[in-house]
Each structure stands twice: as C-alpha cells, then as structure tokens.
Amino acid sequence: MVVQIIGVEGLPIINSGDDLASLILDASERQGLSIKDGDILVVSHIIVSRAEDRIIDLKDIKPSKVAENVSQYTGKDPRLVEVVLSDSRAIRRMASGVLITETRQGFVCANAGVDKSNVPGEDVVALLPEDPDFSARRIRDRIKELRGCEVAVIISDTHGRAHRDGEVNVAVGSAGLSVIRDRRGEKDLFGYELKVKRTAIADELASAAELVVGQASEGVPVAIIRGYSYPKSDASSARELVRARELDLFP
Amino acid sequence: MVVQIIGVEGLPIINSGDDLASLILDASERQGLSIKDGDILVVSHIIVSRAEDRIIDLKDIKPSKVAENVSQYTGKDPRLVEVVLSDSRAIRRMASGVLITETRQGFVCANAGVDKSNVPGEDVVALLPEDPDFSARRIRDRIKELRGCEVAVIISDTHGRAHRDGEVNVAVGSAGLSVIRDRRGEKDLFGYELKVKRTAIADELASAAELVVGQASEGVPVAIIRGYSYPKSDASSARELVRARELDLFP
C-alpha cells in the first residue's frame, strides 16, 4: 500500500477573483500530472484567502476601544487585534504576545487564523476564508466541471496545539470526504473490537501535505495526495473537527 | 516533489524480545522494498511495547486504594487505573469515562497511553515503551548495523487532542531527525521573514504514516516514508514535542 504526496509547483501569485481550480489543474498538467478520480487536493488557506479577497490592509483599520485594551494587555498591534476580534466569536486565552480565539467557524487558534506571511505588503494580513467548507466545495465542483473527475478537497491552516510544542497543518475546510474515519466496531489483530477509535483523517491529510508544502520554498501551496482510499461524503464538513467547548476538557 | 508513504506488510505477531529492526527489514524486502539512506520508519508503539515486554495482564494487578477511588470517580476498571497511575507523573483531567494523565515522558494523553487493542488476551494491556526515544534509537542503530544505511525512526501513538475532535497519530519517540523544523528567519513568497513557524514535523510524519497504517487491517504497524528531506539530528528527542505545563495555556 503506497500513498503519494505530490507538490503542485509553478502556481502563479494568486489574486482576488482567480479561478483556483483552473490554475491548480494548469500547474499540475504542466508538471505532467493529471488529476484523477480519488485524488485529494490539499490547498493552503492563504491562496484561497487571496482568491476570495480576504486580505486586509491594517492601514485601513481604526481599532475600537476594546481592541485598544486587548492590544495593551497582549502587546499586539491594535489594528491586528481589531481584525482578529472581528473574525472571532470568543476569546479563549490572552497573555503577553498571545491571543487565542475561537473563530466564527469554531476553530480554536492563535489570532483567529489571521496571517501575516505570504501576503504582499508590509501591513497586510489574510483572514481565514469566510466559509472554508464552501471554498473547498467550489474547487471540487469546478474540477468536476473542467475535467469530469471526482476529487476531495481540504483547505489547510497551520495551528499550534495545547500540550505539544510546534505547529502542524490541520483541515479548516473540506469537501467530498468524511473528515473523521469512524473505526469503532472494527476488530483488531486479536479480534478485540475497537471502542474509541475515530481518526481525524482530514487533519492527518493536511499534516501529510505539509511535508511537501513545507519543505519547498513558499511557492508550493497545493499538494495532491494519491492512493489514499478515503470514505466519501458530500455532507461532511471540517466543522465536525471542532470539539464543542462544553465537551472540551481543556476549554 | 513527491513523498511516498509505504506500508510494510506481512510482519509476524511480535513477541517479547523480538528484534524489530530485523523483522522490519525482512518484511520490507519480501515486498521488494529495500530500506535506503534517508528513509523514515514510523513504527506503531504497540509492536515496540510487545517486543519490550511492556504488556500487563490486569489479572495480576491488585489496585491500590487511590486507584479504587479514581476508578469510582471515572467508572474505569480499578486495575487499569492502577496501571495508568503507575505510569503517570500527574493527573491532568478526570471525569466520567475519562482519565487524562501526564506520562512519565511528559505526554498528555488518555490513560497514559495504555492500550487495549492489538494485544492478545481479554484483560491484557500494553503500556508505552519505557523510553520511546531509546526504542527508536535502537531500531535505527540496528538497521545501520544490519544494512549500513542511515534512517530516521519515529515511534507513534494515537492521541486525542484538546479543541479538536477525533484522534491523530503523533510521535512519542524519535531518533535521527530534528522533531521540530525551525523555520524562523526563512523568508516567505513576498520577502517577509517568518516569525513564529516551528513545524512539528515528527508529528506530521506520524500522522502521514497513519494513512497507510490505518487504512489497512491491523497487520500494518510500520510505514516507510521516502522522499522527505528532514533535518538530521542525533540529539533531538520526541520529548521536545512536550510543552512544559508551566508554558501551556491549557494546562
């Protein structure tokens, strides 16, 4: 059993309104790669945010009084704080240099996923896509339209974690696959029935893709994962990966 | 850029004292795969635990009074609680059906990583290896001895996470690679210097390996990852992936 993770190289700088699916197909085909049924495309959220114009110039932001206060407490740029809080539904942790919020989609992450890197301009930041599942579905549907093949799409972001140091890539949007593989009821090697195993495969796929995205220079924002037989679903959403705060032992 | 994840099939049932490196080499070679310089072997902790005789029959355990109390509070088998607490240095969370501890190695996980699945016998459980970094190093050294090639080895386990639902595989032991790729100082696509990026590549590799381990029946406890150019290190340890409790915002 072999799973391949292939970096899609040579994508142009993405601008507002670009047809990502079409650009991804062109770039893959230039490197002799034709996207096939069952492929999984993992797309870094930053190019989705650029295509969807989720880019903000901090020079245009006038921080509120609340943002000024949080800025004083955390030491962060008050304009950035304004943008972060506008895209959050709750603050989970604040400390010097740290602002961990719950995004409108429910993800718990630093600065509501607002990113400075890979956006042009000194004071320019990128927000998460408004609805990353919708963004994933749009790419999936457009690939079907253009080439007639059924792929799954994951939109990824880089997150820190509780309890463990360093960051990993996780799924913030998805289309075409069940984000969790439910293995309860399967038997192990000795016939014991698995009781708790629910594997967050969309997160594992996002992490696997980072291996080609992260080892390259910053010009490889898309990976194709081939050979992984995933559970198909049109109803599943990356939001299933969010643990509701009231069920979280580390709220 | 292509990274391959290859499942090693046909390993025998592992018993106490088995030479894992040699069995992994044999099984890979039977499937026409010769392990090469730069390969990464991801090994499920369960076969390491079996080889190192970290297997306990709960029938032999007499729970302490503390274990009885924790058992009443959580509803868990008092003998299992005894084993879990013996392998933990702190309890982080207790609730009905839940016992999250800090293992002696520092990992925060359910039941101190003590596993029921893939061990033979009704009341038999597997503990984490005593020192998973040492276990990884032993496999790495033995492969060098037997075939003369330099590989990296990761010992993986399945962990739940705070904030996100479902489980993913992470690294609990490692040898031959830096578990974190420090990208601070690198420039992004627009020349902006990355300020915070420290990628937990050992965890991402463990998650990537799960894609072949988890989609198979339970007989594939080892994956080879090929084509990933990792930072080599003899000093790095999976314990670097542990965030010290005093630095954790979700202690």
**Mean pLDDT lowest for which of A188-192, B41-45, B138-142?**
A188-192
The per-residue pLDDT for A216 is 59
Q: Of A109, A125, A141, which residue sits at a domain end?
A: A125
- The verdict on a CB contact (< 8 Å) between B228 and A249 is no
User: Looking at the structure, do residues B66 and B149 belong to the same domain, yes or no?
Assistant: no
- Looking up tokens 């009084």 gives A65
User: Looking at the structure, do residues A110 and A132 belong to the same domain, yes or no?
Assistant: no
Closest partner residue to B200 among A13, A165, A240, by Cβ?
A: A165
Our count of domains for chain A comes to: 2
Angle B192-B196-B198 from CA coordinates, rounded to 5°: 115
The per-residue pLDDT for B210 is 96
Top-confidence residue, A214 or A146: A146
Taking 60 as the threshold, does the pLDDT of residue A218 lie above it? no
Contact in structure between A183 and A197 (CB atoms under 8 Å) = yes
Q: Read off the pLDDT band of B196 (50, 70, 90).
A: confident
Q: Read off the pLDDT band of B211 (50, 70, 90).
A: very high
Taking 80 as the threshold, does the pLDDT of residue B216 lie above it? no
Taking 90 as the threshold, does the pLDDT of residue B185 lie above it? no
In a domain, residue B247? The reply is no
Identify which of A155, A43, A39, A205 has the alpha carbon closest to the alpha carbon of residue B204: A205
**Mean pLDDT lowest for which of A100-109, A110-119, A242-251, B240-249?**
A110-119
In a domain, residue B10? The reply is yes
Closest partner residue to B199 among A163, A167, A180, by Cβ?
A: A167
Q: Which residue segment(s) compose the domain that B137 sits in?
A: 4-53+130-241
Segment B234-248 mean pLDDT: 95
Please tell me whether the overall predicted TM-score, pTM, comes out greater than 0.90 for this model.
yes
B185 DSSP assignment: T
**Cβ-Cβ contacts under 8 Å, A165 against chain B:** 180, 198, 200, 240-243
Q: Which of residues 6-65 of B touch A (CB under 8 A)?
A: 6-7, 9, 13
User: Looking at the structure, do residues B198 and B98 belong to the same domain, yes or no?
Assistant: no
Tens digits of per-residue pLDDT, A170-182?
Answer: 999 999 999 999 9
Quote the CA–CA distance of A164 and B243 in Å, as a whole number: 5
The amino acid sitting at B229 is S
Tokens of A22: 């079409």
Q: Of B125, B156, B179, which residue sits at a domain end?
A: B125
The per-residue pLDDT for B214 is 75
Interface confidence, given as ipTM, is 0.96
Taking 80 as the threshold, does the pLDDT of residue B146 lie above it? yes
Segment B123-136 mean pLDDT: 96
Strand ranges, E, within chain A: 2-8, 40-44, 55-57, 88-95, 98-103, 108-110, 124-126, 152-159, 168-177, 181-182, 198-199, 222-226, 232-233
The per-residue pLDDT for B191 is 76
User: Looking at the structure, do residues B121 and B20 belong to the same domain, yes or no?
Assistant: no
User: Looking at the structure, do residues B137 and B234 belong to the same domain, yes or no?
Assistant: yes
The per-residue pLDDT for B200 is 98
Q: From the CB of residue B74, how many other CB atoms can be counted at a distance below 10 Å?
A: 20
Contact in structure between B209 and B42 (CB atoms under 8 Å) = yes
Tens digits of per-residue pLDDT, A125-184?
Answer: 999 999 999 999 999 999 999 999 999 999 999 999 999 999 999 999 999 999 999 988
Q: Read off the pLDDT band of B71 (50, 70, 90).
A: very high
Tokens of A207: 């992490």
Taking 80 as the threshold, does the pLDDT of residue B20 lie above it? yes
Q: Does B212 touch chain A (CB under 8 A)?
A: yes
- The verdict on a CB contact (< 8 Å) between B250 and A163 is yes
Q: What's the alpha-carbon Rg for chain B, to the nearest Å?
A: 19
The amino acid sitting at B174 is S
- The verdict on a CB contact (< 8 Å) between B163 and A242 is yes
With CA atoms as reference, the chain B residue closest to A12 would be: B189
Segment B173-198 mean pLDDT: 85
User: Looking at the structure, do residues B101 and B119 belong to the same domain, yes or no?
Assistant: yes
In a domain, residue A121? The reply is yes
**Cβ-Cβ contacts under 8 Å, B232 against chain A:** none
Taking 70 as the threshold, does the pLDDT of residue B58 lie above it? yes
Segment B116-137 mean pLDDT: 91
Taking 80 as the threshold, does the pLDDT of residue B188 lie above it? no
Quote the CA–CA distance of A23 and A20 in Å, as a whole number: 5
**Cβ-Cβ contacts under 8 Å, B8 against chain A:** none
CA of A163 to nearest chain B CA: how many angstroms apart? 5
The per-residue pLDDT for A217 is 54
- The verdict on a CB contact (< 8 Å) between A163 and B204 is no
In a domain, residue A246? The reply is no
Quote the CA–CA distance of B133 and B235 in Å, as a whole number: 10
In a domain, residue B248? The reply is no
With CA atoms as reference, the chain B residue closest to A228 would be: B211
Contact in structure between B23 and B12 (CB atoms under 8 Å) = yes
With CA atoms as reference, the chain B residue closest to A7 would be: B1
**Mean pLDDT lowest for which of A178-187, B46-55, B153-162, B168-177?**
A178-187
In a domain, residue A248? The reply is no
Three-class SS of residue B187? strand
Highest average pLDDT, of A80-89, A185-194, A212-221, comes from A80-89
Note the maximum CA span of chain B.
63
Mean residue pLDDT across chain B: 94
Segment B180-199 mean pLDDT: 81
Segment B217-244 mean pLDDT: 92
State what percent of residues in chain A have pLDDT above 90: 86
A122 DSSP assignment: T
Q: Which of B179, B211, B249 to mutate to test the interface with A (most CBs of A within 10 A)?
A: B211
Tens digits of per-residue pLDDT, A28-73?
Answer: 999 999 999 999 999 999 999 999 999 999 999 999 999 999 999 9
User: Looking at the structure, do residues B151 and B212 belong to the same domain, yes or no?
Assistant: yes
- B170: CATH: 3.30.1330.100
- A99: CATH: 3.90.1660.10
- The verdict on a CB contact (< 8 Å) between B228 and A215 is yes
In a domain, residue A77? The reply is yes
User: Looking at the structure, do residues A121 and A135 belong to the same domain, yes or no?
Assistant: no
What phi, psi does A126 have (nearest 5°)?
A: -115, 130
The amino acid sitting at B160 is G
Taking 60 as the threshold, does the pLDDT of residue B218 lie above it? no
State what percent of residues in chain B have pLDDT above 90: 86
In a domain, residue B227? The reply is yes
User: Looking at the structure, do residues B73 and B178 belong to the same domain, yes or no?
Assistant: no
User: Looking at the structure, do residues B140 and B215 belong to the same domain, yes or no?
Assistant: yes
Identify which of A155, A53, A170, A175 has the alpha carbon closest to the alpha carbon of residue A108: A170
The per-residue pLDDT for B217 is 54
Distant-in-sequence, close-in-space partners of A72: CB < 8 Å, separation ≥ 6:
none
Distant-in-sequence, close-in-space partners of A29: CB < 8 Å, separation ≥ 6:
none
User: Looking at the structure, do residues A86 and A48 belong to the same domain, yes or no?
Assistant: no
Q: Of A125, A155, A175, which residue sits at a domain end?
A: A125
Identify which of A184, A186, A154 has the alpha carbon closest to the alpha carbon of residue A171: A154
User: Looking at the structure, do residues A165 and A227 belong to the same domain, yes or no?
Assistant: yes
